[in-house]
Amino acid sequence: MQIKKPRYGDPLDVRVERLNSDGEAVGRVELDSGAYKVFVERALPGEWVRTSVIRRRRAQLDVRAVAVLEPSAERVPARCVHFGVCGGCRFQDLAYAAQLRAKRAWVAELFERAAVPVEQLDEVAACDQPWRYRNKMDFTFGARRWVARDEPPDAEAGFALGLHPREQHSKVLSIEACEIQFAAGDGILRSARELARAHGLSAWDVRSHEGLLRHLVLRTSRASGEILVQLTTSAAAQDELAPFVRELLAAHPEITTFVQAVSTRLAAVAGGEQEILWSGAGTIRERLAGLWFEISAGAFFQTNTAQAERLVEFALEELAPAQHERVLDLYCGAGAFSLPLARRAREVLGVELVEHAVVNARRNAELNGVTNASFVCGDAAQWLGAERCASFDALLVDPPRAGVHKDALAVLAQARARRLVYVSCNPKSAAQDCALLAASGWRVVRARPVDLFPHTPHVECVLTLERRP
Neighbours of 114 (CB within 10 A): 17
Q: How far is CA 72 from the centre of its chain?
A: 28
User: What residues form DSSP beta bridges with 448?
Assistant: 462
Residues 6 or more apart from 97 whose CB is under 8 A from it? 74
Q: How far is CA 154 from the centre of its chain?
A: 36
Of the residues 86, 425, 434, 461, which is catalytic?
425
Judging by DSSP bridges, how do beta strands 160-163 and 173-174 pair with one another? antiparallel
**In the annotation, is 425 catalytic?**
yes
Nearest to 461, CA basis, from 432, 419, 428, 423: 423
* b/e map 5-30, b = 16+ CB within 10 Å: ebeeebebebbbbebbbebebbbebe
Q: Which residues have a catalytic role annotated?
A: 425
